Structure 1
Amino acid sequence: MGIVSSIAAFFSASAKRSDKLKSVILSDSNNSQKKEKLKTLCETRWIERHDALITFKQLYVYVVHALEDISHDPNPESSCKAALYLNSVTKIDFLVALEVTVTCFAYTLQLSISLQSKQQDISKALSDVMVIRSALEELREGTVGHFKQIFKDVSDIANLANVEICMPRICGRQTQRININSKDPETYFKVSVFLPFLYFILQELDARFNQRLSDIIPLQGLIPSNFSMYDDETILKAASIYAQDLSTDDNSILKAELRIWRHQWKNKQFKTDSAIDTLPHCTTVVPNIKILLQLFATLPVTSATPERTFSTLKRLKTYLRSTMSEERLNGLALTNINKKELLC
């Protein structure tokens, strides 16, 4: 990602370089891509990172040709950097890493979009995560067939860019990089790049969702469509975490409300599948169930919502308003962020 980010910044920093890349793209009569420039890797928005990598892969051949032309530019700064970047991207290990990253990120792209939506709750988020995780597990189990197609795509791109397909030198003792004893490049890169990266993504999904939410996630058993997922004792144990927010600390009352809640939905054909959709069905008979569902619905899945305020504050806190008080800044920020609600 570091190389992709640096090259994107290299082209965007100069109008002359950007025009060079654009002219190379437009000069290809067989080009089916509508994109004419690279995207930078956003520091906070993962969706933009997905798009940046996919765009770089689609324009890879044109980037190589543009860097070759710029490396002969009279400007020493541009030519020197272009030569260094050209040397970095015309290596087979870079191409394999790029293709593997794009392939794996294709699975998580829609998940990233879903997790950053405003109406997302933990129950729906975990359901989406489990589906993506199962798909990635299947990808890992069928490594031989899947990576064969990945390596074929790498070979096609390498042939277009005149990149030699070979694997690094293997020695008896290696301490500075992965030293896989393999007879062909495909097996080497499968073991040294594809499998570790796939395992890393699975490990991160487990760390961010399963382990962190394991204590409170049984509360999703209060959602009618998830009644069979957890027994009463497991749900009550999770509810005890929010004991100070409930109207009672008597476990027997909470257990009775839980049974009433299950009985309320027993004969209904349609059962809601999210905490937000379930809340309107809560009656005064089950006040603690309603509180738990409210808490479960408002628990943040990611930090996407707070991060949305960064752009707003950047627009508001300009040098012309450097002496603005904190109270006024908060008021303007809330007004700007929630302008749709204010208009209604």
Structure 2
Amino acid sequence: MKRTKTTPITSFFPKRHHNDDAQSHRCSSPLDEPTEIEEPQHGDTEIGTSSQLSKEPILDRLTDFDVISLPHDPGLRRKLTDFHINDRDIIRREYVRRGPCQPRDHKFPKTKRNFVVSWFDKFKPWLEYSKEKDAAFCFVCYLFKSESVSGGEAFVNGGFKTWSKTDAFNKHVDALRFITLQGLASRGHDESDESLNQGNFLELRKTFAKRDSNVAQALFDKKVPGNCTLIAPGIQKQIGSVFAKETTKKVLEELHGGFFGILADESADIADKEQMALCLRYVDYKTGEVKERFLGIVHVGGTTSLTLKAAIEKLLGANSLTLSSIRGQGYDGASNMRGSINGLKTLIMKESPSAYYVHCFAHQLQPTLVAVAKKNVDCSVLFYSLATLLNVIASSCKRKDILREKQAENILKALQKGELVSGSGLNQEKGLSRPGDTRWGSHFKTILSVFDLFPSILDVLDAIGEICDGSELVKVESLAYTMRTFDYVFIGQLMITIFGITNTLSKVLQKKDQDIVNAIALVDVTTNNLKKIREDEWIAHMEKVTSFCQKYEITVPIMSDMYVVPGRYRRGKKQVDNLHHFRIDVFLSLIDQIVQEIDDRFDKRRRDILIFMSCFHPRDRFSAFDISKLVRLARFYPCEFSSTDLQHLEYQLGNFVEDVQVMMILEFRESKRSFHEAC
């Protein structure tokens, strides 16, 4: 076989020409001029692609001398893409080492509008100036701008020279700052010129332009470069990211490396991805003010305690914070958060033993009562029927109208019988509100409304049953039957009593400016009242339930008879009489469970920490300042207070409060004297 002639491999590479002219000795390095590419000589035509390969520029690697000789002036630089891909990071590091080109001593050309040297301080991290082109450049854009991202070329290639338009950039920032602060979407559904609503950001720009003609000229003048309008979605996101970084930087400056507490909660976003938000609570080292600031949101792959701990540790580490600096934790009451064995608070306390856990007061009582009540099988029937009732009646406007009509009829009958008194503001129309596990008093209000509108609701269910069929009819009849049982009335009235006792504590915990001492005292009052109901109010409760049942013709069982579960049979359940079931299994059991849960969430250690910390309140010349309680508080933090420190702390606190009180008295006398002199 005849052997085919091959083309040597050197024919595919360009020859490098060494020029000895004066341009090779320029300060900007020989790489400032494009390398000349010589077409290689081809062999046989069997290699069809050799001519195409030879037309691609082959970039030479830089030497150390070439790197040192890179021009500092942005107007003389070549694009990073003109260099070999393996040399680009070397070039970036070299320019980062030099910093942006900011010739402050340069005599800028005097024209009608010219570059101002103070802009170097205003836009210090990124602004550059080219003596060669008398133009401004973006240092960061040159180093890191992706070729796939459009826009911003005016600050990279030709330079920016429209010196009269610099205020327009501030208006862009103001608009985005406002939108970010309010949590609004910057982009609109239709941002075209013909759109009547281009979105929050563009419409806010128009508002700025209407109020200031200079801004209007800067934003909408046809002379403004089209590639420098700063309205691209990517640029908006970058500015928003800068806001976030600067805000976080300010938070860390206020923290100043001190101790802090964390507040965390997780929830699924609109894309059904689990997200965890983390907040810091700390004392500003300059002002002494307690602040609570949002740190960030991070995606978590699950809600296990180990996953959440890893996410918190990663977010803190990204901001140069550690778990060892945590001195407090606040979460909701979920078991993965507050578990005593493998809960999140336990895992963090292993890293920082003084990071004491305090349940979030804003979610403290309502979920406790509802969650514990639902653990009782008989009580869960009540809440299930409430949800069904709202789905049957409150989900239809027509059925709501029927409820209003039946309510008006029953009020009229009660007035005729003398059971109600007429007058201004009396006998107002009532409705059914849907309860929620995280809203204060929602279940209390719903149960009160159901029993207040009890006859009207039964009439509505009967009316609905006459016009529906199928599964809807079964649901309505089952609900009407359940509401006409002694079990339903007994548990409903018991929950009204429990919610009524805890309502005051709920309102106190809901306040933004909480009085911690008063709140802790109300916890004791609430548990004592529940215990009193347990011990002394059984007969009174039975009389109230019996009276309600007789009024609406509901059968009252004989307490000595065997208890029968209404509408269902429980296999293997021990047979007991009605008295044992309603008194022991429901009344006493439910109250005991709620009292125990409240005690667990407000345990003695947490109560002591909160009460002791309230002694720092400076109100009324430190009237709450209690040295003995503060010394006891210091014992909770052995890492910060040694045994020797504790011995001296009592005397130091005494000197401190005495000094502060004397200073306050002197300031008061001075202000009083100044007031008299002014008068």
| Coarse TM-score class (shorter-chain normalised) | 0.5 to 0.7
Aligned residue for 2:654? 259
Unpaired stretches in structure 1, ≥5 consecutive residues: 265-279, 285-344
Deviations 1:98-123 (A, max 9, x none): 00010111000111111011011433
Aligned residue for 2:633? 235
For 2:401, the aligned partner's letter is D
8 A contact 1:21–1:36 mirrored in 2 = no
Aligned residue for 2:268? none
Aligned residue for 2:454? 60
For 1:20, the aligned partner's letter is I
Deviations 1:214-270 (A, max 9, x none): 562452473645849x656523213x27839xxxx9444533233346768xxxxxx
Cα displacement (A) at 1:203: 0.8
Distance of 2:519 and 2:525 partners within structure 1: 10
8 A contact 1:71–1:82 mirrored in 2 = yes
For 2:632, the aligned partner's letter is T
Aligned residue for 2:400? 18
Deviations 1:168-209 (A, max 9, x none): 8459xx8765754x4xx4564122211111111211110111
Aligned residue for 1:273? none
Distance of 1:189 and 1:24 partners within structure 2: 32
Deviations 1:51-105 (A, max 9, x none): 1111112112221222122222245454332111112211111110000010111
Distance 1:19 1:117, change over 3 A: same
Distance of 2:593 and 2:647 partners within structure 1: 44
Q: Once structures 1 and 2 are overlaid, which stretch shifts more, 210-219 or 5-14?
A: 210-219
Distance 1:256 1:157, change over 3 A: same
Distance of 2:503 and 2:493 partners within structure 1: 15
| 1:44 and 2:438 are equivalent in the alignment | yes
Match of 1:201 among 582, 585, 594: 594
Larger % of strand: which?
A: 2
Larger % of helix: which?
A: 1
Distance 1:164 1:148, change over 3 A: same
Distance 1:46 1:196, change over 3 A: farther
Aligned residue for 1:320? none
Q: Which has the higher contact order (CA 8 A, sep 6+)?
A: 1
CA RMSD of aligned residues (A): 3.4
For 2:650, the aligned partner's letter is K
Aligned residue for 1:148? 539
Distance 1:197 1:65, change over 3 A: same
Distance 1:70 1:124, change over 3 A: same
1:260-299 superposed matches below 5 A: 260=655
Distance 1:12 1:117, change over 3 A: same
Distance 1:141 1:225, change over 3 A: farther
Unpaired stretches in structure 2, ≥5 consecutive residues: 1-382, 421-426, 565-569, 617-622, 665-679
Aligned residue for 1:190? 583
Cα displacement (A) at 1:141: 2.4
For 1:147, the aligned partner's letter is W
The count of residues paired between Structure 1 and Structure 2 equals: 255
Distance of 2:604 and 2:461 partners within structure 1: 45
Distance 1:282 1:9, change over 3 A: farther
Cα displacement (A) at 1:160: 2.9
8 A contact 1:67–1:82 mirrored in 2 = yes
Distance 1:151 1:176, change over 3 A: farther
Distance of 1:205 and 1:226 partners within structure 2: 28
Deviations 1:39-60 (A, max 9, x none): 2112311311211111112112
SS in 2 for 1:71: helix
Distance of 1:65 and 1:96 partners within structure 2: 21
Distance of 2:481 and 2:603 partners within structure 1: 41
Distance 1:214 1:118, change over 3 A: closer
Distance 1:221 1:149, change over 3 A: same
Cα displacement (A) at 1:283: 7.2
Match of 1:164 among 552, 555, 562: 555
Distance 1:175 1:68, change over 3 A: same
Cα displacement (A) at 1:152: 1.7
1:21-100 superposed matches below 5 A: 21-28=403-410, 29=412, 30=414, 32=420, 33-100=427-494
Cα displacement (A) at 1:162: 2.2
For 1:46, the aligned partner's letter is W
Aligned residue for 1:5? 387
For 1:255, the aligned partner's letter is E
Distance of 2:655 and 2:626 partners within structure 1: 13
Distance 1:237 1:190, change over 3 A: same
SS in 1 for 2:466: coil
Distance of 1:55 and 1:86 partners within structure 2: 16
For 2:649, the aligned partner's letter is L
8 A contact 1:92–1:158 mirrored in 2 = yes
Aligned residue for 1:133? 527
TM-score between both structures, scaled by the size of structure 2: 0.34
8 A contact 1:158–1:164 mirrored in 2 = yes
Distance 1:215 1:162, change over 3 A: same
Distance 1:67 1:177, change over 3 A: farther
Distance 1:65 1:233, change over 3 A: same
Distance of 2:492 and 2:498 partners within structure 1: 10
Cα displacement (A) at 1:213: 1.0
Aligned residue for 2:504? 110
For 1:259, the aligned partner's letter is G
Cα displacement (A) at 1:128: 1.4
SS in 2 for 1:72: helix
Distance 1:122 1:78, change over 3 A: same
Distance of 1:242 and 1:41 partners within structure 2: 45
Percentage of pairs with the same residue: 19
Larger radius of gyration: 2
8 A contact 1:218–1:234 mirrored in 2 = no
